[in-house]
Amino acid sequence: MPVEKDNFIAVIKDNQSLIFKICYSYCSNPEDRKDLQQDIIIQLWNSFTKFDGRVKISTWIYRIALNTAISFYRKDRKNKEKIVSMDTSLISLPVFGPNVEQDERITLLYKYIENLNEIDKALILLLLEDKSYREIADILGITLTNVATKISRVKKNLKKQFNNN
Amino acid sequence: MELNDLKDIWMQYDKRLKSSLKLNEELLRLINLEKHNRALRKPLRLELLNMMIQIGMIGLTIYFVIQLSTERFYLITGAIACVMCTISLIFSAIKVSRLYDLAYYHLSIMQFQKEFIQLKIFIMRLRKIEYNIASIIGITLLPLLVKATAGIDLLGHLTVLIPALVFVLGSGYSIGVWLNLIVYDKSLKDAEMFLSLLNKFSNEE
């Protein structure tokens, strides 16, 4: 078990930025973000032994993390019971150095993502992560043609949104 | 700004995150992740508890009916209560089985979300039926319980039985209206809307 947990920690460490970005995209409230982060890690741990390597580890993480975010954080959680009870953040917030222009663009991107529905959020995140059409189709469970149609629509929307700002 | 520019900004942001984020490995090593509640375990635990209550109620009703088997009225009400509890038990067993089967580590987002939301709709529909069954159980069990535990024959005390039934039916009806309007119908509508969004998303080509 300790070796298994060490392996798990190594996987989480390698992919912590992915988990962080998903939490940030799905929860605007810092408390909810912390809960989601912990819940994703718990869901990953619970299925870690069942990971058989048939898909890439990042595909496996995306599926679990996005499914957790969409299923349990779809609506405002302020009235919902806390799913986990840890008080400390497992992945702590970074302190960035000064790069105002980039931070503004990232804030704007997150703002754009915040206004999308849950499924479109997943799509845009995968797109920004530079995933191939095949990977996006595998993670989302849609056809390649469907991915292409959606990406073309997202491109237009992004262009419109960012040229207006 | 083009998509590729945004991807570049996102990649730079990712690099900065990778160098800044800190995973609390010590905490992760210390905590027993298996002991923490999984989101899906909450409805599962609720249904398992429900099953235990139903089994207890069936056992108790059978015991009371055997005690009062010579009186036809209690035999009939007891039998109805038993049948209704058994239906509730079967519903709970179906829900437990469906919740156990739901695992999302190997499913794509569309597959899991559709299964999850369909299960949610199914569970809410069963709960609506279960609520009506609970009212029948309440009405049929009341005279049986009073007779078996306090020895009072409510049929001979209609002045007590009628107000009690009116109270049970009235409060049951009010709670039912509230549950249907505020909880089930709203949640069902929301779930159905999300399901149609999922269908639209996967069929759009």
In a domain, residue B6? The reply is no
Are residues A41 and B28, on separate chains, in Cβ contact within 8 Å?
A: yes
Give the burial string for B176-185 (b: 16+ CB within 10 Å, else e): beeeeeeebe
Cross-chain CB nearest to A72 (options B39, B204, B205): B39
pLDDT of residue B33: 67
Length of chain B: 205
Indicate whether A75 pLDDT > 70.
Answer: no
Chain A contact set for B14 (CB, 8 A): 17, 21, 129
ipTM, 2 dp:
0.82
Third-level CATH fold of A1-95: Rna Polymerase Sigma Factor; Chain: A (1.10.1740)
Measured in whole angstroms, the distance separating CA B112 from the mean position of its chain's CA atoms is 19
A27-38, pLDDT tens digit by residue? 888 888 888 888
Band of residue A147 on the pLDDT scale cut at 50, 70, 90: very high
| Distance (Å) from the alpha carbon of A119 to chain B's nearest alpha carbon | 8
B87 vs B50: CA distance, rounded Å: 12
Are residues A71 and B39, on separate chains, in Cβ contact within 8 Å?
A: yes
pLDDT of residue A124: 92
In a domain, residue B26? The reply is no
Domain with B83, as residue range(s), is: 38-203
Chain B contact set for A142 (CB, 8 A): 110, 201-202
In a domain, residue B31? The reply is no
Measured in whole angstroms, the distance separating CA B182 from the mean position of its chain's CA atoms is 16
Work out the percent of chain A whose per-residue pLDDT is above 90. Answer: 32
Cross-chain CB nearest to B201 (options A88, A119, A159): A119
Q: Which residue has the higher pLDDT, A81 or B203?
A: B203
- Give the residue among A92, A96, A93, A161 at the shortest CA–CA distance from A124: A161
Average pLDDT over residues A128-144: 92
Chain B contact set for A19 (CB, 8 A): none
In a domain, residue B76? The reply is yes
| Distance (Å) from the alpha carbon of A44 to chain B's nearest alpha carbon | 8
Chain B contact set for A92 (CB, 8 A): 21-22, 24
Are residues B3 and A154, on separate chains, in Cβ contact within 8 Å?
A: yes
A23 vs A8: CA distance, rounded Å: 19
B154 vs B142: CA distance, rounded Å: 9
In a domain, residue B92? The reply is yes
In a domain, residue B12? The reply is no
A32 vs A52: CA distance, rounded Å: 31
In a domain, residue B9? The reply is no
Cross-chain CB nearest to B17 (options A20, A43, A66): A20
This prediction has a pTM of 0.76
- Give the residue among A165, A94, A154, A157 at the shortest CA–CA distance from A122: A154
A82-130, pLDDT tens digit by residue? 444 555 566 765 555 545 556 788 888 888 888 888 889 999 999 999 9
DSSP SS3 for A105: helix
Chain B contact set for A154 (CB, 8 A): 3
Chain A residue closest in CA terms to B26: A90
The tens-digit pLDDT sequence of chain B (205 residues) is 778 888 898 999 888 888 888 888 888 887 776 665 555 667 788 889 989 999 999 999 999 999 888 888 899 999 999 999 999 999 999 988 888 777 666 788 898 888 888 888 898 888 888 888 888 888 888 888 888 888 888 777 888 778 877 887 788 778 877 777 777 777 788 888 888 888 888 887 6
Band of residue A10 on the pLDDT scale cut at 50, 70, 90: very high
Give the DSSP H/E element, type plus range, for residue A140: helix A133-140
Q: What residues contact A126, with CB distance under 8 A and at least 6 apart? A: A62, A135, A136, A139, A140
Q: Using H for helix, E for strand and C for coil, what is the string for chain B?
A: CCHHHHHHHHHHHHHHHHHHCEECHHHHHHCCHHHCCCCCHHHHHHHHHHHHHHHHHHHHHHHHHHHCCCCHHHHHHHHHHHHHHHHHHHHHHHHHHHHHHCCCCCCCHHHHHHHHHHHHHHHHHHHHHHHHHHHHHHHHHHHHHHHHHHCCCHHHCHHHHHHHHHHHHHHHHHHHHHHHHHHHHHHHHHHHHHHHHHHHHHHCC
A82 vs A51: CA distance, rounded Å: 27
Q: What is the mean pLDDT of chain A?
A: 81
Class of domain A97-165: mainly alpha
Total domains in chain B come to 1
